[in-house]
Amino acid sequence: MARRTALITLGLAAVLALAAGAAVWAWRQPVAVAAADDAAASLFALKLPDADGVERPLKTWQGKLLIVNFWATWCTPCVEEMPELQKFSDEYAARNVAVIGIGVDDADKIRDFRRQHGLRIPLLTAGFNGMQIAQQLGNPQPVLPYTAVISPGGRVVEEHSGRVEQPELQRWVDRYAHP
């Protein structure tokens, strides 16, 4: 009988611990959403020059499913994913999807890279400050490439460190883009 009471007490304690953990998780979710919203709002408040030196307000892309790719011309996986990002952008622009690249590089190198690879997606220049912007959007370590996805509602909804592949891009569109 004592053993049965002990098992019931242990089971009850486990259920209470699980409930407490779930409550803490649920309580913390609005904070995470608010941080993501603040990060997206900070991004949209920026103006960055493009490869030609023209200031581009990032609020231009508010209301779209925005794929923000942080990259550099000296980063091999970054260079490898650029043609895929261009193809993706061309394919989904009609679905209110936009792709922008924020280069952790100088404008001359980005402009030459754009020309050599025939890219049409907006390539903005942020120099080394681009890493700070990426960290604000959730980049846990200073890695490139890094991609953040901002919903049409203005929330950071996905983050990806390393080269992004077509299936991942497709999943984001299926999940967050308006038809």
Tell me if residue 33 is catalytic.
no
Tell me if residue 86 is catalytic.
no
CA proximity to 93, closest of 118, 119, 70, 67: 67
- 172, 85 Cβ separation under 8 angstroms: no
Phi, psi torsion values for 12, nearest 5 degrees: -65, -40
Give the E-state strand segments of 90-165 in sequence order: 97-103, 123-125, 146-150, 156-161
The catalytic residue among 36, 78, 97, 137 is 78
pLDDT, tens digit only, all 179 positions of the chain? 666 664 455 444 443 344 443 333 344 344 344 555 888 999 999 999 999 999 999 999 999 999 999 999 999 999 999 999 999 999 999 999 999 999 999 999 999 999 999 999 999 999 989 999 999 999 988 899 999 999 999 999 999 999 999 999 999 999 998 76
Q: What is the CATH number of domain 43-176?
A: 3.40.30.10
- 61, 148 Cβ separation under 8 angstroms: no
The catalytic residue among 75, 85, 119, 133 is 75
Q: Does the global pTM surpass 0.85?
A: no
